[in-house]
Chains A and B, each alone.
Chain A
Amino acid sequence: MDNIDIKELHWMLTITQNIDVGLVVLDRDYRVQLWNTFMENRTGVLPDKAANQSFFTLFPEVNQAWFSKKIESVVTLGTPAFTIWEQRPYLVRFKNLQPITGQEDFMYQNTTLFPLRSTNSEISHICLVIYDVTDVATNRHRLQAANNALQELSSTDRLTGLFNRGHWEEMLKNEYARHCRYDSQVSLVMFDIDHFKRVNDTYGHQMGDKVIQRVAEVTRQLARTADIAGRYGGEEFVVLLPDTDKAGAKIFAERLRLAIEAQEMSHEGHVIRCTISLGVADLAEQTPDYKTLIEWADQALYASKKNGRNQVSVHE
């Protein structure tokens, strides 16, 4: 070997040592043959201590059966194998080392395993490359959180926090599909605030908003977790009750009516009360589509209004 070769070799070694990815070379018995500075710095194990140690002794968290299978496929097929953080967050567990910018507990990793051939072209060693992809994972997680927040924003009504009409109708469609497939029961309670226009005209829109918010709050308190409550229009609300027939829904509607009636809201020394009129329908009879359920509940609601308000009517 002449001088140039030695110089280049020296360079190569320095680069291998200093490159910001983890490099480990394993022999066919999983013993470490190369261990670069990246690995040394993160494990505290010096290269001469790591040399000839079993990979599984150094990293007891690695599932031996799984990892060996992976390595064996690299050797028999002669093609590289990969792990990605979405599939396994890490191969070897390294703590996150950035107290300020680090937001995860450990280093997310992508890894590559590729065969190293000896001079007789047999695969005698495997090279493992570990990439730190914590930044990528952190950003992806943030993006997901932002998307979830957006999803929530676009599905809820700003004033009341109930589902908005569009999202609520989507949920109704799903329930209707479930009903068609499994013959599950579902009923709908539709209601609106009696003489709401009068509240607005007398006490102003801000008070009107407060009344709407209070009605929504009471509805939320009385609804079960599985029930799907939404603001359908201005002062109009809907609650979808899965696995409930109209008799059950009527009990819920009556309880809701009494609870709203009992509310007292104060405004500049005045005590304001309000009542609601409700309509109940279910899917016991054949319906051509989900909209029919809304129509039926609406008809029942209209009957409550016509008969003097502050009452529950059931579509028959």
Chain B
Amino acid sequence: MPMIPLLICDDSNMARKQLLRALPSDWDVSVTMATNGQEGVEAIRQGLGQVVLLDLTMPVMDGYQALAAVRAENLDAKIIVVSGDVQEEAVRRCMELGALAFLKKPAEPEELKQTLSRLGLLGVPATTPALIPAAAGARISLHDALREIVNVAMGRAAALLARVLGVFVQLPVPNVNMLEVGELHMALADAQSRDRLTAVCQGYIGDCIAGEALLLFHDSEIADMARLMQRDSDDYSDMEMLLDLSAILIGACLSGIAEQIDVEFSQGHPQVLGTRSGIDELIRINQQRWKKTLAVEISYSLEGHNIHFDLLMLFTEDSVELLSHKLAYLMS
């Protein structure tokens, strides 16, 4: 039996590497890599993806679109989705679009092997090692590693949110940036100029890795959120609702990150900042102390509702090096 053409389609270099490492060692495959859905579909057209491990959250063309394209062109590909977005609705949609299985990130070697075997895709054990493209050896940057960690963490947070609110959460690719305080200030000022904002801030620290989560709500959307949260008693104020939402999002995101880098974060008490109690004033005060901050930005939107949250995880300058040590095993 000839070698199986395997396609790994994920925008994250680290995720592709993790998948490569998780492949059964005696699986007789030749591997092709793609960094978005468009490249992926192109590779499948060329016969390079008889078996496909497909991510969902990708730029240019996401996993859903890729699944739809494969189905529309009636291409012959056995697709297994490997995703950080673990909402039940996400799984349902993928299966409906023709995926054969759904694995949550990071994929466990044993689980992957069982899935492949269940689907009869393992073929005859190889006598020679799999063909792996040279590019796979390239070093993974801290940003890429962090983006992938956050991708998985935010997927879990979204799954919780989806369950609590009964909605489908649309997840974009998270932004990871080293920000100057000035840039952060500008971003906030820009967001504020369009709409009044309320922010919930919460500090966290674990193994000396510290930072603050900043969850931004648009005031004009708060009434819609209240409807979703099915607020029934007068006793339940807007502020409490925002705190409950942020407990879910910040808590789940932090524990998702913590688990992957093997740290326990403890969280401080949240603080609510209104536009009037000066979000930008706070940043101005901190300008002296913080020069640069590692910022992870995640935007959640709720499908079918005009509701968006922006979650910013800001790590202190000192935490960056500690964080890269923690991520080193993933980047090697």
User: Which A residues are closer than 8 A to B by beta carbons?
Assistant: 63, 65-66, 73, 77-84, 86-88, 110, 112, 131
Contact = CB atoms under 8 A, between A and B. Distances in A.
Contacts of B244: 73, 81
B255 A82 contact: no
Contacts of A83: 243
B243 A82 contact: yes
B235 A77 contact: no
16 contacts: A66-B233, A66-B236, A73-B244, A73-B248, A77-B251, A79-B248, A80-B247, A81-B244, A81-B247, A82-B267, A82-B269, A84-B270, A84-B271, A84-B272, A86-B272, A112-B269
Given A77-B251, A78-B255, A84 B269 contact: yes
A132 to B, nearest CB: 13
A82 B240 contact: no
B96 to A, nearest CB: 27
Nearest to A131: B269
A286 B324 CA distance: 66
B198 to A, nearest CB: 12
B243 A84 contact: yes
B302 interface: no
Interface of B: 160, 164, 233, 235-237, 239-240, 243-244, 247-248, 251-252, 255, 267, 269-272
Contacts of B243: 82-84, 87
Contact of B240 (A65, A79, A87): A87
Contact of B255 (A79, A81, A84): A79
Nearest to A63: B235
Contacts of A88: 240
Contact of B237 (A79, A87, A110, A131): A87
Contacts of A84: 243, 269-272
A87 B271 CA distance: 10
Contact of B267 (A73, A78, A80, A131): A80
B247 A87 contact: no
B6 to A, nearest CB: 35
Nearest to A85: B269
In order of increasing CB-CB distance, the 6 nearest A-B pairs are A79-B251, A87-B239, A110-B269, A81-B247, A87-B240, A84-B269
B34 to A, nearest CB: 35
Contacts of B255: 78-79
Nearest to A78: B255
Contacts of A112: 269
